[in-house]
Chains A and B, each alone.
Chain A
Protein backbone atom coordinates (compact mmCIF):
# COMPACT_ATOMS: atom_id res chain seq x y z
CA UNK A 1 0.00 0.00 0.00
CA UNK A 2 1.35 3.41 -0.90
CA UNK A 3 2.25 5.87 1.82
CA UNK A 4 0.06 8.91 2.31
CA UNK A 5 1.35 12.23 1.03
CA UNK A 6 -0.95 14.16 3.29
CA UNK A 7 -2.61 12.96 6.42
CA UNK A 8 -4.95 14.81 8.76
CA UNK A 9 -5.43 13.25 12.16
CA UNK A 10 -8.43 14.47 14.12
CA UNK A 11 -7.85 18.13 13.26
CA UNK A 12 -9.99 20.76 14.90
CA UNK A 13 -10.18 24.45 14.48
CA UNK A 14 -12.32 26.72 16.58
CA UNK A 15 -12.85 30.45 16.59
CA UNK A 16 -13.95 32.63 19.47
CA UNK A 17 -16.76 34.82 18.24
CA UNK A 18 -19.21 37.26 19.74
CA UNK A 19 -22.90 36.97 19.13
CA UNK A 20 -25.58 39.53 19.81
CA UNK A 21 -26.50 40.31 23.40
CA UNK A 22 -24.85 41.92 26.45
CA UNK A 23 -22.82 45.13 26.48
CA UNK A 24 -19.98 43.69 24.41
CA UNK A 25 -21.82 40.74 22.89
CA UNK A 26 -21.86 37.20 24.17
CA UNK A 27 -18.83 35.03 23.80
CA UNK A 28 -19.29 31.86 21.81
CA UNK A 29 -17.13 29.23 20.21
CA UNK A 30 -17.51 28.45 16.55
CA UNK A 31 -16.31 24.96 15.69
CA UNK A 32 -15.34 25.40 12.06
CA UNK A 33 -13.64 22.03 11.89
CA UNK A 34 -14.60 19.57 14.60
CA UNK A 35 -12.38 16.54 14.37
CA UNK A 36 -11.58 15.68 10.78
CA UNK A 37 -9.27 12.86 9.66
CA UNK A 38 -8.33 11.90 6.14
CA UNK A 39 -5.40 10.80 4.05
CA UNK A 40 -4.45 11.42 0.45
CA UNK A 41 -2.00 9.13 -1.29
CA UNK A 42 0.53 10.39 -3.77
CA UNK A 43 -0.99 11.19 -7.14
CA UNK A 44 -4.57 10.86 -5.93
CA UNK A 45 -7.38 13.37 -5.52
CA UNK A 46 -9.59 13.72 -2.50
CA UNK A 47 -12.74 15.71 -3.15
CA UNK A 48 -14.14 17.63 -0.19
CA UNK A 49 -17.79 18.55 -0.61
CA UNK A 50 -20.38 20.27 1.51
CA UNK A 51 -22.51 23.38 1.68
CA UNK A 52 -21.30 26.84 2.66
CA UNK A 53 -20.19 27.03 6.27
CA UNK A 54 -19.50 23.30 6.59
CA UNK A 55 -15.79 23.93 7.22
CA UNK A 56 -14.39 22.61 3.93
CA UNK A 57 -12.38 25.73 3.14
CA UNK A 58 -11.01 25.90 6.68
CA UNK A 59 -9.99 22.27 6.33
CA UNK A 60 -8.12 23.20 3.15
CA UNK A 61 -6.24 25.98 4.89
CA UNK A 62 -5.40 23.69 7.80
CA UNK A 63 -4.13 21.05 5.38
CA UNK A 64 -1.77 23.58 3.83
CA UNK A 65 -0.60 24.88 7.18
CA UNK A 66 -1.90 28.37 6.38
CA UNK A 67 -3.61 28.40 9.76
CA UNK A 68 -2.67 26.25 12.74
CA UNK A 69 -5.14 23.65 14.01
CA UNK A 70 -6.54 24.13 17.51
CA UNK A 71 -5.74 20.47 18.03
CA UNK A 72 -4.85 17.46 15.94
CA UNK A 73 -2.06 16.96 13.49
CA UNK A 74 -1.32 17.38 9.79
CA UNK A 75 1.40 15.17 8.36
CA UNK A 76 3.01 15.84 5.02
CA UNK A 77 5.19 13.02 3.65
CA UNK A 78 5.20 11.44 7.08
CA UNK A 79 6.25 14.40 9.20
CA UNK A 80 4.21 16.94 11.12
CA UNK A 81 3.82 20.35 9.50
CA UNK A 82 6.39 22.78 10.93
CA UNK A 83 5.31 25.86 12.86
CA UNK A 84 3.84 28.64 10.75
CA UNK A 85 6.45 31.22 9.75
CA UNK A 86 9.49 29.03 10.48
CA UNK A 87 12.13 28.44 7.82
CA UNK A 88 11.08 24.81 7.52
CA UNK A 89 7.48 25.92 6.98
CA UNK A 90 8.47 28.33 4.24
CA UNK A 91 10.43 25.58 2.56
CA UNK A 92 7.48 23.24 2.80
CA UNK A 93 5.18 25.84 1.21
CA UNK A 94 7.06 25.26 -2.04
CA UNK A 95 5.78 21.74 -2.12
CA UNK A 96 2.16 22.54 -1.34
CA UNK A 97 0.23 25.30 -3.07
CA UNK A 98 -3.28 26.67 -3.13
CA UNK A 99 -5.60 27.69 -5.97
CA UNK A 100 -8.56 29.84 -5.05
CA UNK A 101 -12.00 30.41 -6.51
CA UNK A 102 -11.61 33.95 -7.71
CA UNK A 103 -8.64 34.24 -10.07
CA UNK A 104 -9.00 38.00 -10.43
CA UNK A 105 -8.97 38.43 -6.66
CA UNK A 106 -5.81 36.38 -6.20
CA UNK A 107 -3.88 38.24 -8.89
CA UNK A 108 -2.45 41.74 -8.62
CA UNK A 109 -4.19 43.79 -11.29
CA UNK A 110 -1.34 46.28 -11.58
CA UNK A 111 1.26 43.68 -12.48
CA UNK A 112 1.76 41.72 -15.69
CA UNK A 113 0.89 38.08 -15.19
CA UNK A 114 4.34 36.75 -16.18
CA UNK A 115 6.19 38.24 -13.22
CA UNK A 116 3.34 37.08 -10.98
CA UNK A 117 3.81 33.52 -12.21
CA UNK A 118 7.56 33.74 -11.55
CA UNK A 119 7.16 35.41 -8.17
CA UNK A 120 7.21 32.22 -6.04
CA UNK A 121 10.69 31.52 -7.46
CA UNK A 122 11.89 34.87 -6.16
CA UNK A 123 10.28 34.26 -2.79
CA UNK A 124 12.02 30.92 -2.49
CA UNK A 125 15.22 32.28 -4.04
CA UNK A 126 15.37 29.85 -6.93
CA UNK A 127 17.41 30.48 -10.10
CA UNK A 128 18.67 33.59 -11.87
CA UNK A 129 16.26 36.11 -13.42
CA UNK A 130 16.82 34.56 -16.84
CA UNK A 131 16.21 31.05 -15.52
CA UNK A 132 13.07 32.20 -13.76
CA UNK A 133 11.73 33.66 -16.97
CA UNK A 134 12.46 30.44 -18.82
CA UNK A 135 10.70 28.45 -16.15
CA UNK A 136 7.72 30.79 -16.24
CA UNK A 137 7.46 30.26 -20.01
CA UNK A 138 7.68 26.50 -19.58
CA UNK A 139 5.02 26.47 -16.85
CA UNK A 140 2.76 28.73 -18.88
CA UNK A 141 3.05 26.34 -21.80
CA UNK A 142 2.13 23.43 -19.56
CA UNK A 143 -1.16 25.11 -18.58
CA UNK A 144 -1.97 26.10 -22.16
CA UNK A 145 -0.90 29.74 -22.05
CA UNK A 146 1.21 31.24 -24.78
CA UNK A 147 4.42 33.23 -24.51
CA UNK A 148 2.75 36.49 -25.42
CA UNK A 149 0.48 36.19 -22.39
CA UNK A 150 3.54 36.91 -20.20
CA UNK A 151 3.20 40.67 -20.67
CA UNK A 152 -0.57 40.79 -20.27
CA UNK A 153 -2.38 42.25 -17.28
CA UNK A 154 -5.00 40.16 -15.48
CA UNK A 155 -7.93 42.23 -16.79
CA UNK A 156 -6.82 41.62 -20.36
CA UNK A 157 -7.33 37.87 -19.97
CA UNK A 158 -10.53 35.84 -19.93
CA UNK A 159 -11.70 34.09 -16.79
CA UNK A 160 -10.37 30.75 -17.97
CA UNK A 161 -6.99 32.21 -18.86
CA UNK A 162 -6.74 33.89 -15.47
CA UNK A 163 -7.37 30.61 -13.73
CA UNK A 164 -4.58 29.12 -15.87
CA UNK A 165 -2.29 31.91 -14.68
CA UNK A 166 -3.14 31.13 -11.07
CA UNK A 167 -2.47 27.45 -11.75
CA UNK A 168 0.87 28.26 -13.41
CA UNK A 169 1.89 30.33 -10.40
CA UNK A 170 1.04 27.41 -8.14
CA UNK A 171 2.88 24.92 -10.32
CA UNK A 172 6.10 26.83 -10.85
CA UNK A 173 7.68 25.64 -7.61
CA UNK A 174 6.92 22.06 -8.66
CA UNK A 175 4.68 21.28 -5.71
CA UNK A 176 3.55 17.79 -4.77
CA UNK A 177 0.19 18.86 -3.39
CA UNK A 178 -2.28 21.42 -4.62
CA UNK A 179 -5.30 22.45 -2.60
CA UNK A 180 -7.97 23.71 -4.99
CA UNK A 181 -10.67 25.73 -3.23
CA UNK A 182 -13.64 26.00 -5.62
CA UNK A 183 -11.22 26.45 -8.52
CA UNK A 184 -13.87 26.54 -11.24
CA UNK A 185 -16.98 27.89 -9.50
CA UNK A 186 -16.46 31.40 -10.86
CA UNK A 187 -16.05 30.18 -14.44
CA UNK A 188 -18.60 29.75 -17.19
CA UNK A 189 -19.82 26.27 -17.98
CA UNK A 190 -17.95 26.09 -21.29
CA UNK A 191 -14.72 27.14 -19.55
CA UNK A 192 -15.13 24.85 -16.54
CA UNK A 193 -14.56 21.79 -18.70
CA UNK A 194 -11.29 23.25 -20.01
CA UNK A 195 -9.95 23.76 -16.51
CA UNK A 196 -11.20 20.37 -15.27
CA UNK A 197 -9.45 18.65 -18.16
CA UNK A 198 -6.32 20.66 -17.54
CA UNK A 199 -6.25 19.68 -13.86
CA UNK A 200 -6.58 16.01 -14.82
CA UNK A 201 -3.88 16.25 -17.50
CA UNK A 202 -1.48 17.93 -15.09
CA UNK A 203 -2.09 15.20 -12.55
CA UNK A 204 -1.32 12.57 -15.18
CA UNK A 205 1.78 14.33 -16.36
CA UNK A 206 3.26 15.56 -13.10
CA UNK A 207 1.88 13.07 -10.62
CA UNK A 208 0.20 15.84 -8.64
CA UNK A 209 -1.91 15.20 -5.58
CA UNK A 210 -5.06 17.29 -5.14
CA UNK A 211 -7.29 18.22 -2.29
CA UNK A 212 -10.25 19.42 -4.33
CA UNK A 213 -12.78 21.51 -2.43
CA UNK A 214 -16.09 22.22 -4.12
CA UNK A 215 -19.81 22.39 -3.64
CA UNK A 216 -20.33 21.02 -7.15
CA UNK A 217 -20.79 17.28 -6.82
CA UNK A 218 -20.61 16.62 -10.56
CA UNK A 219 -17.25 18.30 -10.90
CA UNK A 220 -15.98 16.58 -7.76
CA UNK A 221 -16.98 13.22 -9.15
CA UNK A 222 -15.22 14.08 -12.40
CA UNK A 223 -11.86 14.80 -10.78
CA UNK A 224 -11.75 12.82 -7.52
CA UNK A 225 -10.66 9.32 -6.66
CA UNK A 226 -12.10 9.61 -3.19
CA UNK A 227 -14.66 11.94 -1.69
CA UNK A 228 -15.34 13.21 1.81
CA UNK A 229 -18.69 14.86 2.56
CA UNK A 230 -18.68 17.47 5.34
CA UNK A 231 -21.54 18.76 7.42
CA UNK A 232 -21.05 21.31 10.21
CA UNK A 233 -17.33 20.70 10.64
CA UNK A 234 -17.37 16.93 10.48
CA UNK A 235 -16.94 14.33 7.77
CA UNK A 236 -20.22 12.43 7.60
CA UNK A 237 -19.29 10.09 4.79
CA UNK A 238 -16.20 9.23 2.85
CA UNK A 239 -15.36 6.69 0.20
CA UNK A 240 -14.48 5.98 -3.38
CA UNK A 241 -16.03 8.70 -5.55
CA UNK A 242 -18.11 6.70 -7.98
CA UNK A 243 -19.50 4.32 -5.40
CA UNK A 244 -20.33 7.12 -3.02
CA UNK A 245 -22.32 9.11 -5.56
CA UNK A 246 -23.96 6.01 -7.00
CA UNK A 247 -25.27 4.85 -3.64
CA UNK A 248 -24.81 7.48 -0.96
CA UNK A 249 -25.19 5.95 2.51
CA UNK A 250 -25.51 8.94 4.82
CA UNK A 251 -28.91 10.67 4.66
CA UNK A 252 -27.20 14.01 4.18
CA UNK A 253 -25.17 12.73 1.23
CA UNK A 254 -28.35 11.28 -0.18
CA UNK A 255 -30.10 14.62 0.09
CA UNK A 256 -27.12 16.38 -1.44
CA UNK A 257 -26.95 13.96 -4.35
CA UNK A 258 -30.67 14.03 -4.96
CA UNK A 259 -30.69 17.84 -4.87
CA UNK A 260 -28.47 17.99 -7.95
CA UNK A 261 -30.68 18.71 -10.94
CA UNK A 262 -29.97 16.28 -13.72
CA UNK A 263 -30.49 16.17 -17.42
CA UNK A 264 -32.59 13.29 -18.57
CA UNK A 265 -33.25 10.57 -16.08
CA UNK A 266 -35.52 11.48 -13.19
CA UNK A 267 -34.38 10.37 -9.76
CA UNK A 268 -36.32 10.22 -6.56
CA UNK A 269 -35.93 13.28 -4.48
CA UNK A 270 -34.99 13.63 -0.85
CA UNK A 271 -35.73 17.25 -0.05
CA UNK A 272 -34.55 18.42 3.34
CA UNK A 273 -36.52 20.91 5.33
CA UNK A 274 -34.98 23.98 6.90
CA UNK A 275 -31.51 25.47 6.74
CA UNK A 276 -28.23 24.13 8.09
CA UNK A 277 -27.98 25.24 11.74
CA UNK A 278 -25.69 28.03 12.86
CA UNK A 279 -22.20 26.55 13.43
CA UNK A 280 -22.05 28.47 16.73
CA UNK A 281 -25.01 26.50 17.96
CA UNK A 282 -24.55 22.94 16.73
CA UNK A 283 -27.35 20.56 17.72
CA UNK A 284 -26.53 17.88 20.27
CA UNK A 285 -26.14 14.29 19.16
CA UNK A 286 -25.86 13.93 15.41
CA UNK A 287 -25.56 17.50 14.08
CA UNK A 288 -27.77 16.53 11.15
CA UNK A 289 -30.68 15.10 13.17
CA UNK A 290 -33.01 18.16 13.04
CA UNK A 291 -33.09 17.94 9.24
CA UNK A 292 -32.87 14.17 8.94
CA UNK A 293 -36.03 12.32 7.88
CA UNK A 294 -34.68 9.10 9.40
CA UNK A 295 -33.64 10.42 12.82
CA UNK A 296 -34.44 8.27 15.85
CA UNK A 297 -34.16 9.04 19.57
CA UNK A 298 -30.54 7.94 19.69
CA UNK A 299 -29.58 10.48 17.01
CA UNK A 300 -30.67 13.31 19.29
CA UNK A 301 -28.41 12.33 22.16
CA UNK A 302 -25.40 10.54 20.76
CA UNK A 303 -23.06 11.76 18.04
CA UNK A 304 -22.38 8.94 15.59
CA UNK A 305 -18.75 8.02 14.94
CA UNK A 306 -17.38 7.65 11.43
CA UNK A 307 -17.41 3.87 11.00
CA UNK A 308 -15.82 1.84 8.27
CA UNK A 309 -18.36 -0.21 6.26
CA UNK A 310 -17.70 -3.58 4.61
CA UNK A 311 -17.33 -1.91 1.21
CA UNK A 312 -14.50 0.31 2.43
CA UNK A 313 -16.66 3.35 2.87
CA UNK A 314 -16.94 5.19 6.19
CA UNK A 315 -20.25 6.63 7.36
CA UNK A 316 -21.16 8.59 10.48
CA UNK A 317 -24.77 7.55 10.94
CA UNK A 318 -26.49 5.44 13.58
CA UNK A 319 -28.76 4.05 10.92
CA UNK A 320 -26.19 3.35 8.24
CA UNK A 321 -26.69 -0.41 8.57
CA UNK A 322 -30.46 -0.13 8.68
CA UNK A 323 -32.01 -1.60 5.61
CA UNK A 324 -35.23 0.15 6.51
CA UNK A 325 -34.00 3.53 5.34
CA UNK A 326 -32.74 2.15 2.10
CA UNK A 327 -36.29 0.96 1.47
CA UNK A 328 -37.81 4.24 2.58
CA UNK A 329 -35.92 6.13 -0.08
Chain B
Protein backbone atom coordinates (compact mmCIF):
# COMPACT_ATOMS: atom_id res chain seq x y z
CA UNK B 1 0.00 0.00 0.00
CA UNK B 2 2.91 2.39 0.77
CA UNK B 3 4.54 1.72 -2.59
CA UNK B 4 1.16 2.21 -4.22
CA UNK B 5 0.71 5.57 -2.45
CA UNK B 6 4.24 6.74 -3.32
CA UNK B 7 3.84 6.01 -7.00
CA UNK B 8 0.57 7.96 -7.04
CA UNK B 9 2.28 10.87 -5.25
CA UNK B 10 5.05 11.02 -7.85
CA UNK B 11 2.49 11.07 -10.60
CA UNK B 12 0.64 13.94 -8.88
CA UNK B 13 3.85 16.03 -8.73
CA UNK B 14 4.48 15.54 -12.44
CA UNK B 15 0.93 16.63 -13.23
CA UNK B 16 1.39 19.85 -11.27
CA UNK B 17 4.63 20.69 -13.06
CA UNK B 18 2.87 20.13 -16.33
CA UNK B 19 0.07 22.52 -15.36
CA UNK B 20 2.58 25.20 -14.35
CA UNK B 21 4.30 24.99 -17.72
CA UNK B 22 1.08 24.86 -19.65
CA UNK B 23 -0.26 27.97 -17.92
CA UNK B 24 2.91 29.86 -18.78
CA UNK B 25 2.88 28.89 -22.45
CA UNK B 26 -0.79 29.56 -23.07
CA UNK B 27 -0.77 32.95 -21.44
CA UNK B 28 2.32 34.05 -23.35
CA UNK B 29 0.92 32.85 -26.64
CA UNK B 30 -2.15 35.02 -26.17
CA UNK B 31 -0.23 38.27 -26.62
CA UNK B 32 2.21 40.74 -25.10
CA UNK B 33 1.01 41.41 -21.56
CA UNK B 34 2.56 44.87 -21.54
CA UNK B 35 0.48 45.96 -24.51
CA UNK B 36 -2.62 44.38 -23.08
CA UNK B 37 -2.32 45.93 -19.66
CA UNK B 38 -1.21 49.39 -20.67
CA UNK B 39 -3.62 51.40 -22.71
CA UNK B 40 -3.03 51.26 -26.45
CA UNK B 41 -1.87 54.85 -26.73
CA UNK B 42 0.62 54.68 -23.84
CA UNK B 43 4.05 56.13 -24.67
CA UNK B 44 6.70 53.56 -25.71
CA UNK B 45 8.89 54.51 -22.75
CA UNK B 46 6.12 53.68 -20.32
CA UNK B 47 5.60 50.29 -21.93
CA UNK B 48 9.33 49.66 -21.83
CA UNK B 49 9.41 50.59 -18.15
CA UNK B 50 6.51 48.25 -17.44
CA UNK B 51 8.32 45.42 -19.22
CA UNK B 52 11.46 46.04 -17.18
CA UNK B 53 9.56 46.21 -13.92
CA UNK B 54 7.88 42.83 -14.52
CA UNK B 55 10.93 41.15 -16.06
CA UNK B 56 9.25 40.84 -19.44
CA UNK B 57 12.38 42.05 -21.21
CA UNK B 58 14.47 39.02 -20.32
CA UNK B 59 14.80 35.89 -22.51
CA UNK B 60 11.67 33.77 -22.45
CA UNK B 61 13.33 30.65 -20.94
CA UNK B 62 14.76 32.76 -18.13
CA UNK B 63 11.31 34.11 -17.45
CA UNK B 64 10.00 30.55 -17.45
CA UNK B 65 12.58 29.21 -15.03
CA UNK B 66 12.12 32.13 -12.66
CA UNK B 67 8.38 31.74 -12.88
CA UNK B 68 8.44 27.99 -12.40
CA UNK B 69 10.72 28.19 -9.39
CA UNK B 70 8.61 30.83 -7.75
CA UNK B 71 5.40 29.03 -8.59
CA UNK B 72 6.60 25.87 -6.94
CA UNK B 73 7.48 27.82 -3.81
CA UNK B 74 4.05 29.45 -3.80
CA UNK B 75 5.21 32.86 -5.02
CA UNK B 76 3.37 34.00 -8.14
CA UNK B 77 4.48 37.59 -7.96
CA UNK B 78 2.25 40.56 -7.53
CA UNK B 79 -0.98 41.27 -9.27
CA UNK B 80 -0.36 43.49 -12.26
CA UNK B 81 -3.54 45.37 -11.42
CA UNK B 82 -3.38 46.27 -7.77
CA UNK B 83 0.15 45.24 -6.81
CA UNK B 84 -0.76 42.83 -4.01
CA UNK B 85 0.70 39.30 -3.95
CA UNK B 86 -1.37 37.22 -6.39
CA UNK B 87 -1.58 34.22 -4.09
CA UNK B 88 -3.12 36.37 -1.33
CA UNK B 89 -5.82 37.55 -3.70
CA UNK B 90 -6.64 33.97 -4.54
CA UNK B 91 -6.59 32.62 -1.01
CA UNK B 92 -8.77 35.37 0.33
CA UNK B 93 -11.47 34.42 -2.19
CA UNK B 94 -11.31 30.74 -1.30
CA UNK B 95 -13.62 30.81 1.78
CA UNK B 96 -16.41 32.46 -0.19
CA UNK B 97 -16.30 29.77 -2.85
CA UNK B 98 -16.11 26.95 -0.33
CA UNK B 99 -19.05 28.51 1.48
CA UNK B 100 -21.26 27.59 -1.44
CA UNK B 101 -19.47 24.54 -2.92
CA UNK B 102 -19.15 22.60 0.34
CA UNK B 103 -22.86 22.74 1.24
CA UNK B 104 -23.60 21.99 -2.42
CA UNK B 105 -21.38 18.89 -2.20
CA UNK B 106 -23.28 17.78 0.89
CA UNK B 107 -26.48 18.24 -1.08
CA UNK B 108 -25.15 16.23 -4.05
CA UNK B 109 -24.08 13.30 -1.92
CA UNK B 110 -26.88 13.52 0.65
CA UNK B 111 -29.62 13.48 -1.96
CA UNK B 112 -27.94 11.81 -4.93
CA UNK B 113 -26.63 8.67 -3.25
CA UNK B 114 -29.78 7.68 -1.33
CA UNK B 115 -31.95 8.49 -4.35
CA UNK B 116 -29.74 6.36 -6.58
CA UNK B 117 -29.76 3.44 -4.16
CA UNK B 118 -33.50 3.66 -3.72
CA UNK B 119 -34.10 3.79 -7.46
CA UNK B 120 -31.85 0.79 -8.05
CA UNK B 121 -33.53 -1.29 -5.35
CA UNK B 122 -36.95 -0.46 -6.77
CA UNK B 123 -36.01 -0.75 -10.39
CA UNK B 124 -38.77 0.08 -12.87
CA UNK B 125 -41.08 1.22 -10.10
CA UNK B 126 -42.84 4.56 -10.36
CA UNK B 127 -40.38 6.04 -7.87
CA UNK B 128 -37.45 4.84 -9.98
CA UNK B 129 -38.80 6.33 -13.17
CA UNK B 130 -39.66 9.59 -11.45
CA UNK B 131 -36.20 9.83 -9.90
CA UNK B 132 -34.55 9.21 -13.22
CA UNK B 133 -36.76 11.74 -15.00
CA UNK B 134 -35.92 14.42 -12.48
CA UNK B 135 -32.30 13.41 -12.71
CA UNK B 136 -32.18 13.72 -16.50
CA UNK B 137 -33.78 17.14 -16.26
CA UNK B 138 -31.34 18.07 -13.50
CA UNK B 139 -28.17 17.40 -15.38
CA UNK B 140 -29.22 18.32 -18.90
CA UNK B 141 -30.23 21.82 -17.86
CA UNK B 142 -27.24 24.21 -18.05
CA UNK B 143 -26.51 25.68 -14.64
CA UNK B 144 -27.04 29.28 -15.73
CA UNK B 145 -30.54 28.41 -16.96
CA UNK B 146 -31.36 26.71 -13.68
CA UNK B 147 -29.89 29.68 -11.84
CA UNK B 148 -32.03 32.13 -13.76
CA UNK B 149 -35.15 30.02 -13.28
CA UNK B 150 -34.52 29.87 -9.53
CA UNK B 151 -33.90 33.61 -9.38
CA UNK B 152 -37.08 34.24 -11.31
CA UNK B 153 -39.16 32.06 -8.99
CA UNK B 154 -37.68 32.66 -5.55
CA UNK B 155 -36.00 36.03 -6.06
CA UNK B 156 -38.35 37.91 -8.31
CA UNK B 157 -41.81 36.36 -8.22
CA UNK B 158 -41.97 35.14 -4.64
CA UNK B 159 -39.36 37.51 -3.30
CA UNK B 160 -38.30 35.01 -0.64
CA UNK B 161 -34.59 35.03 -1.35
CA UNK B 162 -32.08 37.62 -2.53
CA UNK B 163 -31.14 37.17 -6.18
CA UNK B 164 -27.52 38.30 -6.07
CA UNK B 165 -24.73 39.51 -3.84
CA UNK B 166 -23.18 38.08 -0.70
CA UNK B 167 -24.44 40.14 2.19
CA UNK B 168 -26.12 37.46 4.30
CA UNK B 169 -26.48 33.72 4.71
CA UNK B 170 -29.68 33.90 2.65
CA UNK B 171 -27.67 35.06 -0.33
CA UNK B 172 -25.92 31.70 -0.41
CA UNK B 173 -29.10 29.64 -0.68
CA UNK B 174 -29.79 29.97 -4.40
CA UNK B 175 -26.17 29.39 -5.51
CA UNK B 176 -26.00 26.29 -3.29
CA UNK B 177 -29.27 24.89 -4.61
CA UNK B 178 -28.23 25.55 -8.21
CA UNK B 179 -24.92 23.77 -7.79
CA UNK B 180 -26.39 20.97 -5.70
CA UNK B 181 -29.29 20.11 -8.00
CA UNK B 182 -27.21 19.26 -11.06
CA UNK B 183 -24.67 17.37 -8.94
CA UNK B 184 -27.33 15.41 -7.09
CA UNK B 185 -28.87 14.42 -10.42
CA UNK B 186 -25.54 13.10 -11.72
CA UNK B 187 -24.84 11.38 -8.44
CA UNK B 188 -28.23 9.68 -8.38
CA UNK B 189 -27.82 8.39 -11.89
CA UNK B 190 -24.32 7.15 -11.25
CA UNK B 191 -25.18 5.50 -7.96
CA UNK B 192 -28.18 3.80 -9.52
CA UNK B 193 -26.23 2.27 -12.38
CA UNK B 194 -23.40 1.22 -10.07
CA UNK B 195 -25.94 -0.45 -7.77
CA UNK B 196 -27.75 -2.17 -10.63
CA UNK B 197 -24.47 -3.49 -11.96
CA UNK B 198 -23.60 -4.92 -8.56
CA UNK B 199 -27.09 -6.29 -7.87
CA UNK B 200 -26.81 -8.32 -11.05
CA UNK B 201 -23.60 -10.00 -9.91
CA UNK B 202 -23.61 -13.69 -9.00
CA UNK B 203 -22.31 -13.02 -5.48
CA UNK B 204 -25.50 -11.12 -4.65
CA UNK B 205 -27.62 -14.14 -5.57
CA UNK B 206 -25.17 -16.36 -3.70
CA UNK B 207 -25.46 -14.14 -0.61
CA UNK B 208 -29.24 -14.42 -0.77
CA UNK B 209 -28.96 -18.18 -1.19
CA UNK B 210 -26.96 -18.24 2.05
CA UNK B 211 -30.09 -17.10 3.82
CA UNK B 212 -29.08 -13.51 4.58
CA UNK B 213 -31.94 -11.07 4.98
CA UNK B 214 -32.30 -8.82 1.95
CA UNK B 215 -31.28 -5.65 3.77
CA UNK B 216 -28.10 -7.39 4.93
CA UNK B 217 -27.36 -8.51 1.40
CA UNK B 218 -27.71 -4.89 0.29
CA UNK B 219 -25.79 -3.40 3.19
CA UNK B 220 -22.94 -5.88 3.41
CA UNK B 221 -22.54 -7.17 -0.11
CA UNK B 222 -24.01 -4.68 -2.57
CA UNK B 223 -23.07 -1.30 -1.10
CA UNK B 224 -19.34 -1.91 -0.53
CA UNK B 225 -18.99 -3.03 -4.14
CA UNK B 226 -21.13 -0.26 -5.58
CA UNK B 227 -19.03 2.27 -3.67
CA UNK B 228 -16.00 1.47 -5.83
CA UNK B 229 -17.16 3.02 -9.12
CA UNK B 230 -19.00 5.79 -7.25
CA UNK B 231 -15.73 7.00 -5.77
CA UNK B 232 -14.66 8.25 -9.20
CA UNK B 233 -17.54 10.64 -9.50
CA UNK B 234 -17.27 11.76 -5.87
CA UNK B 235 -13.59 12.49 -6.48
CA UNK B 236 -14.52 14.54 -9.49
CA UNK B 237 -16.99 16.53 -7.41
CA UNK B 238 -14.49 17.10 -4.62
CA UNK B 239 -12.01 18.18 -7.29
CA UNK B 240 -14.40 20.82 -8.54
CA UNK B 241 -14.98 22.33 -5.09
CA UNK B 242 -12.60 25.18 -5.93
CA UNK B 243 -13.26 25.92 -9.57
CA UNK B 244 -16.65 24.34 -10.15
CA UNK B 245 -18.69 27.42 -9.48
CA UNK B 246 -17.42 29.87 -12.12
CA UNK B 247 -20.74 30.25 -13.91
CA UNK B 248 -22.89 30.19 -10.80
CA UNK B 249 -20.70 32.76 -9.05
CA UNK B 250 -20.94 35.00 -12.08
CA UNK B 251 -24.72 34.72 -12.29
CA UNK B 252 -25.22 35.42 -8.58
CA UNK B 253 -22.40 37.96 -8.32
CA UNK B 254 -20.82 35.77 -5.62
CA UNK B 255 -17.33 37.02 -4.76
CA UNK B 256 -15.47 33.72 -5.04
CA UNK B 257 -12.64 32.12 -6.97
CA UNK B 258 -14.75 31.82 -10.09
CA UNK B 259 -15.37 35.50 -10.43
CA UNK B 260 -11.76 36.29 -9.69
CA UNK B 261 -10.79 33.95 -12.50
CA UNK B 262 -13.15 35.63 -14.95
CA UNK B 263 -11.96 39.13 -14.14
CA UNK B 264 -8.25 38.19 -14.02
CA UNK B 265 -8.47 36.57 -17.43
CA UNK B 266 -10.32 39.55 -18.86
CA UNK B 267 -7.67 41.89 -17.43
CA UNK B 268 -4.68 39.76 -18.43
CA UNK B 269 -3.58 39.80 -14.84
CA UNK B 270 -0.99 37.11 -15.46
CA UNK B 271 0.19 36.59 -11.91
CA UNK B 272 -3.33 36.12 -10.62
CA UNK B 273 -4.36 33.78 -13.40
CA UNK B 274 -1.28 31.67 -12.84
CA UNK B 275 -1.82 31.57 -9.11
CA UNK B 276 -5.45 30.57 -9.67
CA UNK B 277 -4.57 27.81 -12.10
CA UNK B 278 -1.98 26.53 -9.71
CA UNK B 279 -4.36 26.42 -6.74
CA UNK B 280 -7.09 24.81 -8.84
CA UNK B 281 -4.73 22.26 -10.32
CA UNK B 282 -3.16 21.42 -6.98
CA UNK B 283 -6.62 20.84 -5.52
CA UNK B 284 -7.70 18.68 -8.47
CA UNK B 285 -4.56 16.60 -8.25
CA UNK B 286 -5.04 16.18 -4.53
CA UNK B 287 -8.63 15.04 -5.06
CA UNK B 288 -7.47 12.55 -7.66
CA UNK B 289 -4.84 11.26 -5.30
CA UNK B 290 -7.54 10.71 -2.69
CA UNK B 291 -9.64 8.79 -5.23
CA UNK B 292 -6.73 6.52 -6.05
CA UNK B 293 -6.04 5.86 -2.40
CA UNK B 294 -9.75 5.26 -1.76
CA UNK B 295 -9.75 2.65 -4.53
CA UNK B 296 -6.90 0.87 -2.85
CA UNK B 297 -8.77 0.98 0.43
CA UNK B 298 -12.10 -0.21 -0.96
CA UNK B 299 -10.93 -2.80 -3.45
CA UNK B 300 -8.46 -5.48 -2.42
CA UNK B 301 -7.86 -6.32 -6.08
CA UNK B 302 -6.47 -2.84 -6.72
CA UNK B 303 -4.42 -2.96 -3.54
CA UNK B 304 -2.60 -6.11 -4.55
CA UNK B 305 -2.21 -4.93 -8.12
CA UNK B 306 -4.20 -7.88 -9.41
CA UNK B 307 -5.95 -5.85 -12.07
Contact = CB atoms under 8 A, between A and B. Distances in A.
- Do A and B interact directly, with beta carbons closer than 8 Å? yes
Interface string A15-49: 00011111111000000000000000000000000
B201 interface: no
A24 B7 contact: yes
Contacts of A20: 304-306
B14 interface: no
A22 B1 CA distance: 10
Chain B contact residues: over half helix, strand or loop, or mixed? helix
A22 B304 contact: no
A19 B304 CA distance: 9
Nearest to A18: B305
Interface in B102-161: none
A44 B289 CA distance: 58
A23 B305 contact: no
Interface string B1-24: 001101100000000000000000
A21 B4 CA distance: 9
Most chain B beta carbons < 10 A, residue from A21, A22, A23, A25: A23
Nearest to B306: A20
Contacts of B3: 22-23
A20 B306 CA distance: 7
A23 B6 contact: yes
A19 B305 CA distance: 7
Q: Pick the most buried of B3, B304, B305: most chain A CB atoms within 10 A of its CB.
A: B305
Nearest to B3: A23
A22 B4 CA distance: 8
A194 to B, nearest CB: 30
Interface of A: 18-25
13 contacts: A18-B305, A19-B305, A20-B304, A20-B305, A20-B306, A21-B305, A22-B3, A23-B3, A23-B4, A23-B6, A23-B7, A24-B7, A25-B305
Given A19-B305, A20-B305, A22-B3, 5 more contacts: A20-B304, A20-B306, A23-B3, A23-B4, A25-B305
**Closest 6 CB pairs between A and B?**
A20-B305, A23-B3, A23-B7, A20-B304, A25-B305, A23-B6
